[in-house]
Amino acid sequence: MSLHGQYDDQNIFAQIIRGEAPCYTLYEDEHVLAFLDVFPQSYGHTLVIPKRSAARNILEIDADSLSKMMVVVQKLTAVLVAELAPVGVQVAQFNGAPAGQTVFHIHMHIVPRFEGEALAVHAGGKAEPQALAALQARLLQRMAG
């Protein structure tokens, strides 16, 4: 898919926002939703999306929605680093299929990086639901504490 086109309101993130598809929510307010990636590239891989913007990429999102997303990205990056103690953390956003975008609803990836561990291929393997639920509980507890 190119950088230009129509927003598909049946994409998986739009379905998640409407409550039509499940997710492992870490944060939600009226503007932003963050959840664990079910096809993680590393342990703790988190996605942050705008809820009120039908933007496919960074070229289409309004500055206010983008700012609200980035505040949550920063907050959750700090939570992931504090709880999982990675040696690094990758924050990424892709625009268009040639750049690696697979879901055409703008989103940010927070990917903890651990010593000696290569990134898994995105969408190469689905995480176990029990593992995601346990990690979700752990991170929510960290945020509540």
Q: State whether the Cα torsion 115-75-65-9 is positive or negative.
A: positive
Marked catalytic residue, from 45, 105, 107, 109: 107
Instruction: For residues 20 and 10, give the distance between their C-alpha atoms in angstroms, rounded to a whole number.
Output: 10
Q: Which two tokens stand for residue 74?
A: 């920063």
In terms of Cα–Cα distance, which of 80, 74, 75, 70 is closest to 31?
Answer: 70
Decide the pairing of beta strands 108-113 and 32-36. unpaired
The residue type at 75: K
31 is catalytic: no
Instruction: For residues 115 and 110, give the distance between their C-alpha atoms in angstroms, rounded to a whole number.
Output: 16
Residue 50 bridge partners (DSSP): 32
Instruction: For residues 136 and 80, give the distance between their C-alpha atoms in angstroms, rounded to a whole number.
Output: 11
Could you list the active site residues? 107
